Every structure is written in structure tokens, then in C-alpha cells.
């Protein structure tokens, strides 16, 4: 829509696969339009790199509309960049000015092993989920969908928590690399629904134990997680998770 492009300077973390360290490399991209997405700007950069015979910068991405949770970079020091409530792929270049220098880094946290350039391994999240982020029931055994009325506000609370996309920004932003916001979102969602009720105690204990086993740190209420979360998952979920845990431990 606009015809005057910007010049954007980038300092991007490059790390070879299997290497234990990497470094920032400087790049400049010309003719960047405000309506371009941040990833489209990186696409353009990659096109020029490949044309020069250099290896493209690797970054994970898929839906490019903020819902799959695949993308994730620390842009200008902030996980998912400068626009609150957005994923990396939703960031548009209108957030930046002509001549800006932007640093781009991977989501760093001990349990997220760096794979290459900006790509990290978040499989720890899957292993936490496998410990209890489900309702134990088989296909075929469900009662009618309206058999249990659920108050609208409970359903809404459950939905608020269920909106988590598993991106890991909360971990990357936390000084302790805690996964509490992510884990609490799942525990909270199921705790608001009658279907999650029978396994509440077991679920909280098992998921939290796995979170610790993966090497995520403790939550000390910094609140950085909530600030970067693209789905604005509330830190109130962490308090709820603690209550679930205590109830579980007491039943123990």
C-alpha cells in the first residue's frame, strides 16, 4: 500500500547445527514496507543470501497467522517482539522505523536446546502434556454434549486458558526459565470443566513433577511471562495451579 520502503539493519544470531556457540551477524534489508510481516522481511533477506550462495537463516514457522505456535524469536530483546499479544509471525514492520537496528535471537532457556540459528527444541512441552494434560476416556464413550451444562463463565475461563499455543515465549522471557505459565494454562483449563474434575489432583502433581524433571526453573512471580504471552494467558492461572497442586499433595 505504501511505496516508500524502509532500510532495516539486523543483528541475527547464527549458529551452525551441532555447534556449542554462535554469533550475531549483521545484515541490512532495503525497501521494507510497513505492511510486510517480520517473517516476510526475513524471507527477503534469505532470498538474497541464497542468491549469494550463502546458507539461509533457519527459523521455525508454519501458519504465519499466530495460531500454531511454531514461530518464536526474541526481537529487540523481547520474546515475540514489540507488539503485545502477538506472535513473531504477526509482527508487522509498521512497528519499526526507517534505519532501526533490530537484534534477533532464538528463545533461550536451558530446557530448550538450540538446534540451528533461531530454531530450538521445545519437545519438553510435549513430555509435560503426556503426564496428564488430557481427560482419560476413549472414543465412543461420550454422553450427549449437553448432558452436563457448564456455566458460561466457567467455559469462558477454560477457553481463556486453553488459548495457549505452546510457543515457549513465557519460558524464554522468564529469568528462571520457568514453564509455569504454560503448564498452568493446561491445568487451569481442565480444572474449570466438569470433565477434568476426576483427575484434577493427579494431573497437577504429575505435570508439575515433569516440568521440574525437564529442568525448568521455579516461578518467582516476575510476571515477564504474562507480558510476552501472545495469547495473553493470565498469571492468575499460576496461582490456580498452585492451589490444584496443594489440593493434590494433601490428598497425596
Partner 1 sequence: MTDSKILDPKIPSGPLAEKWDRHEQENPLVSPGKNRREKTIIIVGTGLAGGGAAATLGELGYNVLNFCIQDTPRRAHSVAAQGGINASKNYQNDGDSVYRLFYDTIKGGDYRSREANTYRLAQLSMGIIDQCVAMGVPFAREYGGTLANRSFGGVQVSRTFYARGQTGQQLLLGVYAALSRQIAAGTVKMFPRHEMLDLVVVDGRARGIIARELLTGEIKRFEADAVVLATGGYSPVFYLSTNAVNSNATAIWRAHRRGAYFANPCYTQIHPTAIPQLGDYQSKLTLMSESLRNDGRVWVPKKPGDKRRPNEIPEEERDYYLERRYPAFGNLVPRDIAARAALVECNAGKSAYFSDRAVYLDFAEAIGRLGKDVVADRYGNLFAMYEEIIGDNPYETPMTIYPAPHYTMGGLWVDYNLQSTIEGLFVAGEANFSDHGANRLGASALMQGLADGYFIVPRVVSNYLAGAKLKPVDTGNDAFKAAEDDTRKYLQRLLAIKGSRTVRDIHWELGRTMWNNVGMSRNAEGLKQAIADVSKLREEFWQNLKLTGNDADLNKQLEQANRLSDYLELGELMARDALMREESCGGHFREEHKTEEGEAKRDDANFTFVSAWEYTGANKEPFLHKEDLKFEFVELKTRSYK
Report 79-98 residues binding ligand FES (CB under 6 A): 87-89
Q: Which is nearer to partner 1, 192 or 245 (CB)?
A: 192
Q: Is 233 in the site for ligand SF4 (CB under 6 A)?
A: yes
- For residues 117 and 137, give the distance between their C-alpha atoms in angstroms, rounded to a whole number: 41
Which range touches partner 1 (CB under 8 A), out of 117-125, 176-184, 220-228, 244-252? 117-125
Task: Cite the DSSP H helix spans in the chain.
Answer: 38-51, 123-130, 152-162, 169-173, 180-191, 200-213, 224-228, 236-251
- Looking at 57-65, 101-109, 151-159, 236-244, which segment touches ligand FES (CB under 6 A)? 57-65
Do strands 6-14 and 74-75 pair parallel, antiparallel, or not at all (unpaired)?
unpaired
User: DSSP string of 208-248?
Assistant: HHHHHHTT-----S--HHHHH-TT---THHHHHHHHHHHHH
66 binds ligand SF4 (CB under 6 A): no
Of 36, 74, 109, 170, which lies in the binding site for partner 1, with binding defined by CB under 8 A? 36
185 binds, among ligand SF4, ligand FES, partner 1, none (CB under 5 to 8 A by kind): ligand SF4
**Residues interacting with ligand SF4, by CB under 6 A?**
164-170, 181-182, 185, 229-231, 233
Amino acid at each position: 500500500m505504501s511505496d516508500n520502503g524502509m532500510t532495516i539493519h539486523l543483528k541475527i544470531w547464527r549458529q551452525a547445527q551441532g555447534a556449542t556457540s554462535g554469533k550475531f551477524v549483521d545484515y541490512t534489508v532495503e525497501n521494507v514496507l510497513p505492511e510486510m510481516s517480520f517473517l516476510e522481511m526475513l524471507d527477503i533477506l534469505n532470498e538474497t543470501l541464497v542468491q549469494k550462495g550463502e546458507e539461509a537463516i533457519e527459523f521455525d514457522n508454519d501458519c504465519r497467522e499466530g495460531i500454531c505456535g511454531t514461530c518464536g524469536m526474541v526481537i529487540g530483546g523481547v520474546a515475540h517482539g514489540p507488539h503485545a499479544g502477538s506472535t513473531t509471525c504477526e509482527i508487522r514492520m509498521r512497528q519499526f522505523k526507517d534505519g532501526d537496528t533490530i537484534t534477533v535471537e532464538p528463545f533461550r532457556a536451558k530446557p530448550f536446546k538450540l538446534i540451528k540459528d533461531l530454531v530450538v527444541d521445545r519437545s519438553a512441552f510435549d513430555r509435560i502434556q503426556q503426564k496428564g494434560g488430557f481427560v482419560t476416556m476413549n472414543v465412543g464413550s461420550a454422553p450427549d454434549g449437553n448432558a452436563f451444562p457448564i456455566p458460561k463463565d466457567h467455559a469462558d475461563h477454560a477457553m481463556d486458558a486453553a488459548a495457549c499455543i505452546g510457543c515457549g515465549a513465557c519460558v524464554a522471557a522468564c529469568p528462571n526459565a520457568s514453564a509455569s505459565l504454560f503448564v498452568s494454562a493446561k491445568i487451569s483449563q481442565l480444572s474449570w470443566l466438569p470433565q477434568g474434575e476426576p483427575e484434577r489432583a493427579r494431573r497437577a502433581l504429575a505435570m508439575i513433577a515433569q516440568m521440574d524433571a525437564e529442568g525448568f526453573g521455579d516461578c518467582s512471580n516476575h510476571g515477564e511471562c504474562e507480558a510476552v504471552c501472545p495469547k495473553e494467558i493470565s498469571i492468575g492461572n499460576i496461582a490456580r495451579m498452585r492451589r490444584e497442586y496443594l489440593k493434590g499433595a494433601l490428598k497425596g
